[in-house]
Amino acid sequence: MPERILIVDDDVDTLRLVGLMLQRQGYQVIAASNGSQGLTKAFEERPNLILLDVMMPDMDGYEVTRRLRSNPATASIPILMFTAKTQLDDKVTGFEAGADDYLTKPTHPTELQTHIRALLSRVSTAAKTPEELETVIKEKHGYVIGVSSARSGAGVSTFASNLAAALYARDKADVIVAELTPGQGTLALDLGLEENTKLSELLKSTPVEVTREKVLSSLVTHASGMRLLLASDNPLDMDLAARTENFNALVLRLATLARFVILDFGAGLPHSVQKMLPLCAERIVVLEGTVNSIHYTRQLLSAFEELKLEKKSVSVVVNNRIRSDMQIPWVQVQEKLGHSILSTIIPSPELFMQALRLQTPAILAQPENMISQQFLKIADAILEREKNNK
């Protein structure tokens, strides 16, 4: 597969002539005519190298470089500044911004080709594939857990918040819960928190604007110790679920901000969730012990297999929220699913109603309750897996 080079220059002649020269050398060329477009294409295309002009009207090359370096998805892509600015101070500014090399216009095509080849051979950690991004998250950042269900109504958000509270209570671990269900948020109301528009704001911006600092400022802290990124409850925001690139950038940022990051995916398997699942160290599927819930969950687990997700990285939790003779024992659920059950949460509607009144996770409303102990055991299992994952 040919190496891809992104050329960012507002001069049409430069784009055409340099692009044609690189194509003749066997490179695949991507062109952008301004800084903002260059940032977007860099994030979407993940080129092997960026050839960047400095003097552009909307955003100069120095600022483009700084933004590329601040984003984990583009931080290691080699950048060759190619500009008419020849002063020593200009070069120093370019290198301080994060450029790998600097050439002044005009230059001989052979010299430009030599610099490009040298950069491509020297920098081995250029644009990462999704698999490489997964490795980066697992090895260098927090332990990311995705929680979902096959159909709505299984209690995914409640499970995610109680799991986070259990991890914090058990190990004082820094935990973030990200409610990635725009337009369908419930945790703000359940936990007495007001900031529920931040996820929508992040999704409405461009992917490159989803910076670490912006994500950090979007988090709110609950009295339980966990931090949350809250989804709005405005139905009009549901269209934002299609912002796949923003979601990916968001997960990459969140993974640098806490030891544990719990992603509330809600129900189903939309395209954005399909793209985020490989970024998780493990996935937890929540279901109820009913015939229909088992059927839909079996379909979801089959889809996970089609997405090449390792079976051992998927845990299943039976969350029986109401008392009913229709609930199927966990042994039979396990048999019908063809997948082991990590834990079964017993029905306790009174406890969860008390938690809603107190605006706190259920495990903190009654720490000695059997359900609280079940969540703490799940937290212990995750702590052990995190330890073994390092």
Question: Which domain range does residue 98 map to?
Answer: 4-128
Is the torsion defined by CA of 316, 377, 344, 371 positive or negative?
Answer: negative
Q: Do 176 and 299 sit in the same domain of this protein? A: yes
Q: Do 208 and 87 sit in the same domain of this protein? A: no
Q: Do 174 and 241 sit in the same domain of this protein? A: yes
Domain count across the chain: 2
Residue 334 structure tokens: 């396990």
Q: What confidence score (pLDDT) does residue 124 get? A: 43
Q: Do 200 and 281 sit in the same domain of this protein? A: yes
Final residue of a domain: which of 128, 155, 190? 128
Q: Do 177 and 74 sit in the same domain of this protein? A: no
What CATH number is given to the structural domain containing 185?
3.40.50.300
Beta strands in the chain (DSSP E): 4-8, 28-32, 49-52, 79-83, 101-104, 143-149, 175-179, 220-221, 227-229, 260-267, 282-287, 314-319, 343-345
What CATH number is given to the structural domain containing 101?
3.40.50.2300
Q: What confidence score (pLDDT) does residue 264 get? A: 98
Pairing of strands 282-287, 314-319: parallel
Cα separation, 297 vs 292, in Å, equals 9
Q: What confidence score (pLDDT) does residue 296 get? A: 97
Q: Do 47 and 101 sit in the same domain of this protein? A: yes
Per-residue pLDDT tens digits of the chain, which is 390 residues long: 688 999 999 988 888 999 999 999 999 999 999 998 999 899 888 899 999 998 888 889 999 999 898 887 788 899 998 877 666 677 778 888 888 888 887 778 888 898 898 888 765 433 444 454 555 444 446 899 999 999 999 999 999 999 999 999 988 888 999 999 999 999 999 999 987 899 999 999 888 788 888 899 999 999 888 999 999 999 999 999 999 989 988 998 898 889 999 999 999 999 999 999 999 999 999 999 999 999 999 999 999 999 999 999 999 999 988 777 778 999 999 999 999 999 999 888 899 999 999 999 999 999 889 999 999 999 999 999 998 876
With a threshold of 0.75, does the pTM exceed it? no
Q: Do 45 and 159 sit in the same domain of this protein? A: no
Please count the CA atoms within 13 angstroms of the CA of 118 that sit on its side-chain side.
10
Final residue of a domain: which of 86, 105, 128? 128
Residue 65 structure tokens: 């470089």
Query: Exposure of 13 by Cβ count < 10 A (0-12 exposed, 13-18 middle, 19+ buried)?
Result: exposed
Q: Do 214 and 325 sit in the same domain of this protein? A: yes
Q: What confidence score (pLDDT) does residue 139 get? A: 45
Q: Which of 390, 338, 348 is nearest to 373 (CA)?
A: 348
Q: What confidence score (pLDDT) does residue 20 get? A: 92
Q: Do 137 and 278 sit in the same domain of this protein? A: yes
Q: Do 314 and 216 sit in the same domain of this protein? A: yes
Final residue of a domain: which of 112, 128, 144? 128
Q: Do 211 and 288 sit in the same domain of this protein? A: yes
Q: What confidence score (pLDDT) does residue 240 get? A: 96
Q: Do 195 and 315 sit in the same domain of this protein? A: yes
| Mean pLDDT computed over every residue of the chain | 88
